[in-house]
Amino acid sequence: MTGSADGYAKTFASWKADPERFWLDASAAIEWDRAPSVALDPSATPLARWFPDGELNTCFNALDRHVRDGRGDQLALVYDSPVTGKVVTYSYQQLLDTVARFAGALAREGVERGDRVVIYMPMVPEAVIAMLACARIGAVHSVVFGGFGAPELAARIADCQAKLVVCASCGIGPAGVIAYKPLVDEALRLVDGGHQRCIVLQRPEGEGTLVPGRDVDWHEALDGAEPVPCVSVRATDPLYILYTSGTTGLPKGVVRDNGGHAVALEWSMGAVYDVQPGEVFWAASDIGWVVGHSYIVYAPLLHGCTTVLYEGKPVGTPDAGAFWRVCADHKVNVLFTAPTAIRAIKREDPEGELLRPYDLSALRTLFLAGERCDPDTLSWAGQHLDRPVIDHWWQTESGWPMAANCLGLERLPVKPGSATKPVPGYDIHVLDADGHDVPAGESGAICVRLPLPPGFAPTLWRADDRFTASYLSAYPGWYLTADAGYFDEDGYLFIMSRTDDVINVAGHRLSTGQIEEVLASHPDVAECAVVGVADALKGQVPIGFAVLKAGVTRPNQAIEAELVALVRKQVGPVAAFKSVGIVRALPKTRSGKILRSTIRRIIDGEEWQAPPTIEDATVLDQFEALATATPD
């Protein structure tokens, strides 16, 4: 650990005193074609445009400069695929050579600076290569999570007006091969006037049919392609668009710029994760999500690290020891994953037996983010790993951590249930409905004072007004995170729920996250969810759902009674918590987030449909059965 005593407080104070000087100083870690002389464009308020007169190339900073500076033989990318039995490695030189050639292939297909390219691929090296190749020529990539249905894929192709689609013929999961190419064909058919060209990576596990005149094989595209140099772009030019579901049903295209993104991610690798160039960093996520963009692809390579690309699951490929095997095989120094992954491992291997055979001596730290981490999961991981487990908090829109224990500045004491303190760059407050700060210990809306820092989404794709309306209008001068929580007396931030997960029980505002924390503390519970449902007398009441750990054989009714008693004891009768159901699994998105709002609609008898992001729609059947049995 490189942090020092008072390192966090001093750094935060330095940023607070002069934010623009702080970020101009941080920008020196990036190599610029034209170094910025101005940190923030004041004319863009309330939107934030960082380093407006700077010019750079993100791919150059991720690959070329490391090769030039003598890191060409260092491992850049390790591809580990238990579903195919393959491990493939790329040095920085090898990755640069392939990226430069594929960038040439894109250029040969007519892709130019500013054009959009949709990438629809599983966790294979070619997906990373395609992303970096787009960045190399100044094209804007939009990665769509492999497995989205054709209508969702079509909506994204149409919204960004993609010039080219890069896809794989199939994905591979624990259940077998998932054909991607038919979904791409249907999506292109659905796109009005869709004349996009398509480069297809044919995987031997499941090849697709190429459409003559439109589709070209990946290897044929590379054949004869000349490597191309990096194209200099403005710092404010978009690097990528990442679509996230919107409340209107239309996808929101979160934009990430080149300059602020590179500066923030490079800074975060040292300051937050305490990683040094040359070390091995593994973000066990998917490139279809923001964690994959930021901490599988860009941040580790910008920082000169080795990054791990894992095509597998925390359990089932082949068992709940998969993560520990990867850490041991590739000498991972820092692991970053979602609490749901650890809960899945804990459920299958509650005693940590599958961890013991592996040499984890290289592993220093486990970071968790993506959803609220309950203290029981944090404690379980810390106990069995015997090393720091750090919960931190951020969002698709932020692109990098908003609150964390910044180990590269100073290791602060861990408080289970808390994401620790705001990261320098984020002026975070907890506000009441009138926009006033609430006292320590009292919950409210978590907001960030403008301007937003570098790396944060400057806007939505071609929708400045929508960005302002969605995020900046509820509290003028602030960004509304849509998360609810509180600061304690020591300034630690606790993320308890989404703002729509704060329920009103007979006039008492309660956090469902607080009740989930109590349920998760029960020794038989692997994971849980609590939702607020309509009640004629109290307005709303909480209902819980729990998944039991593997091997639990006690009657469900006994466990349910214990859970109700536990909540009444620790939260109090005010919670009016009387109903909890044992379920086989919780409905989740493919990124691991529990679909609480869908559960609530089912239990309340409202109209609902399975979101396109759901991992397994059959899980919802049990909630429909419970809805008919749930007392009013």
Average pLDDT on 531-544 reads 82
Beta bridge pairs of residue 622: none
Q: Find the mean pLDDT for residues 572-582.
A: 83
Least confident of 69-78, 244-253, 376-385: 244-253
Identify the band that residue 552 occupies on the pLDDT scale cut at 50, 70 and 90.
Answer: very high
- CATH C-level class of 7-312+392-485: alpha beta
Report the half-sphere exposure of 58 (CA within 13 A, side-chain side).
36
Task: Determine if the peptide bond prior to 19 is cis (ω within 30°).
Answer: no
Q: What pLDDT sits at residue 193?
A: 63
248 pLDDT more than 50: no
pLDDT band at 631 (very low <50, low <70, confident <90, very high): very low
Residue 151 pLDDT grade (very low, low, confident, very high; cuts 50, 70, 90): confident
What is the model's pLDDT at position 622?
86
Where does the pLDDT of residue 616 fall: very low under 50, low under 70, confident under 90, or very high at 90 and above?
A: confident
In the β-sheet with 389-391, what is the strand arrangement from edge to edge?
86-91, 75-81, 306-310, 280-283, 334-337, 365-368, 389-391
Per-residue confidence (pLDDT) for residue 507, from 0 to 100: 54
Residue 201 has pLDDT above 50, yes or no: yes
DSSP code at position 423: P
pLDDT in tens, 432-491: 989 999 999 999 999 999 999 999 999 999 999 999 999 999 999 999 999 999 999 999
**What is the average per-residue pLDDT within 118-126?**
97
Average pLDDT over residues 100-108: 98
pLDDT digits (tens, 9 = 90+) for 379-396: 999 999 999 999 999 999
Where is pLDDT greater, at 566 or 575?
566
In the DSSP assignment, the letter for residue 620 is G
Question: What is residue 504's predicted lDDT score, i.e. its pLDDT?
Answer: 66
Cα–Cα nearest to 306, from 279, 340, 342, 275: 279
Structure confidence at residue 247 as a pLDDT band (50, 70, 90) = very low
- Give the Cα separation of 427 and 456 in Å (integer): 13
Q: What is the pLDDT of residue 9?
A: 97
Please give the average per-residue pLDDT across 90-115, as a whole number.
98
What pTM does this model have? 0.86
Fold of 506-629: GMP Synthetase; Chain A, domain 3 (3.30.300)
Residue 614 is predicted with a pLDDT of 80
Mean pLDDT of 198-226: 96
CA–CA separation, 69 and 75 (whole Å): 14
Strand, helix or coil for residue 396: coil
Are 7-312+392-485 and 506-629 equal in CATH topology? Answer: no
Reply yes or no on whether the pLDDT at 251 is more than 90.
no
Listed by start position, the domains of the chain span 7-312+392-485, 506-629
**CA 619 to chain CA mean position, Å:** 23
Contact indicator for 52, 233 with CB cutoff of 8 Å: no
Structure tokens at 316: 């089932």
Q: What average pLDDT does the chain have?
A: 92
Q: pLDDT-based confidence at 249, cuts 50/70/90?
A: low
